Chains A and B, each alone.
Chain A
Amino acid sequence: MAEIKKVAVIGAGVMGAAIAAHVANAGIPCVLLDIVPKDAKNRNAFAEGAVEKMLKTKPAPFMHAKNARLITTGNLEDHLNLLADVDWICEAIIENPAIKRDLYQKLEGVRKPGSIVTSNTSTIPLATLLEGLPDSFARDFGITHFFNPPRYMRLFELVKGPQTRDDAIAALAHFGDVVLGKEVVRCKDTPGFIANRIGIYWSYVAMSLAFKHGLTVEETDALVGKPMGIPKTGIFGLGDLTGIDLAPHVNASMLRLLPATDAFPQAFEPEGKLVRLIGKMIEGGYTGRKGKGGFYRARGKEVLDLETGEYRPKQKAALDSVNASRKGLRALVEHGDKGGKYSWDLLSRVLSYAASLIPEISDDILSVDRAMKTGYAWKFGPFEQIDQLGTRWFADRLRAEGRPVPRIVDVADGRPLYKEEGEKAYYLTLSGDYAEIPVADDAWSLADKKRGKARIAGNRGASIWDIGDGVACLEFHTKMNAIDADILNMVKEAANLHKKGYKALVIGHDGDNFSVGANVGIALFQANVAMWPVLEGGIAEGQNIYKALKYSPFPVVAAVAGMALGGGCEITLHCDAVQAHAESYMGLVEVGVGVLPGWGGCKEMITRHVLNKKRPGGPMPPLATVFEMISTAKVSTSAAEAREMLFLRETDAITMNRRRVLADAKARALAMVEGYQPPKPVELNLAGASGKAALDIAVEGFALQGKATKHDVVVSGAVARVLTGGDKDITEVTTEDDLYALEREGFMSLIRTNATLDRIEHMLTTGKPLRN
């Protein structure tokens, strides 16, 4: 299998450029070419403009601005020679088969032998794209379909043609999975592949049924949201986000490709209310968030009335069925109100449709569920949803309504589509037998390791699991994985696992966020009722536990993904190594709630920056860097940024694929076992009072400019005191315990103030920081 070491993307539109950016995120050099603009002064304007624009786009396509340097821009007339040493050329130009084929002809002349060419088409069949092209091209050609935005959407649909080389597909699959960090789903060469085939139908039906059932936009989105496991934008909100003008194009291409007997053309009403409304909206420039508005406008305060087509103030949806859905999907679709009826109408169609497409679009249900979860961000795939309803119940209701029962549901005959037995999980196949869901050694979730096993230890907030080879895994499972007394107790226990014969410890889990920080709700309550000794004890306890973890006699590796903030960040700072997912958002954000990092965060960061060999000389530069980071609650927007901020050290590693983070962390931990020595305590010489004075002056400057609030000055002052070593000066040695003591003192001085408590309360009640 040839390794892909250099990539080219042809077409610097939104998708193409963002694919190139993501290739660069993976550290792979990438050529980005587009056509020469008409009458252009700058013949590379398209590709260059795209990269420039992406540096300003939010959410950012680049994980770090410096990644842009890995992209070589050019045009298709002058720079085809740049493709000569490229291993994979990804075409992402206009969805027009003739133009695409012309391009392929051109590529044939310049690409290196054995290189791979793929198209990022979302709907055009592979066969169509290959018409008139030589076999030599067909052997190297496939479809790689990214979802927008490619950095964040995990699905990567991979389509192999009848002639495509197996090793080319294997190389793409490996590259997509390991290097780009995508969920690779193999698809057949059918219209819309898997995700769009189901997703476009779902999107149309979900919107048009709202008219049929007399639902408002708000009501529909309240249903097609959390109750159905859909992101909270709902369906109309999603339309606004992706662009209303997109709908006619995708609908048309699917209608062109699908047979008239397919459910989508059957359901589609070219003169229906929805199509007419959308036509009117596009005509008026109401194309969604990028236009004058969409189904919502004025930052969601106004909503389009589906009946009148006029905007009106947003109303909170009040549907009993939405409340009922807390008891499950079945309670939702069985509810008697219009929301319940709509939900059944929608789900019965979409789930039946998905089920009826086995084996047309995929031989297995697993791929379909994975595609919908990673391509459309559904919480549950269609087959998981059928299991929630119950295959028996679902089939019976369809039959009672005189509707066909899809084959896979019929085959299930009341059995679930997924089952777990012992340590293994299975899915049902069309043959009626269950097939094992394979778990790779180097890519697994904690759920795979937990299955059929009892935890070693645990409480309400955390559990410890044996993940094999003498390694234990500490899992958090509080709300948002906020750190509370339960978690701390388990950290304490985990730090002693060597006594039970464990060789190493991984701290991590399957959750979206490693940990959002300490549970400040309890601290706020304790502070409000003036339980000062209890609060100070809590800080000391956390410090002791993290310290014990740091000096435990076996390696500890944190497997970070998503947010690792505040106390959640601090625990990673006390680990021997961090294996971070590329999408890791790390930061010491305590000042946002008016306190300072009290569990060794100040201590670890000042130590790292002082000891950083690459830093400029003198006592002030590292101090200023850490001070700015902590006093402005700076959070990395990626693991790459976290590395620059020294939340990650040079010895820490980054994993692109979320499903590989734990496996990589475990491998890292095992690699450290041999000859492991706990870290040596360090002593620092900090700037002392004169350093603090310099920082205070800077803060006062910000306050005068209106950039720092009254309480910012107080909080920053407390942070400055800790970072400069308190009452010591540069000639005196500050130990780790001194810094812990300073953190406690600073924390306690802040938590006693009204302004800090107001900040905490505001954060907990509104989710936003209070600027007081």
Chain B
Amino acid sequence: MIALYLTIFISFIIALIFLVLFLKSVKTGQYEDTYTPSVRMIFDDEFSEDDEKDEIASSKAE
């Protein structure tokens, strides 16, 4: 039954880790603006494509 101490201990620690992670995410402001990241995400892709095209264009010019 000694194993039980260990499992309780582990489960408690895991739960605690999630709590700390949540508190940290609140602190860094993840919940302050829940809209903009959803828009920003779409641009990330397209923008890198554009960059590549630009690079290709500029390398050709050279």
A and B found bound together: no
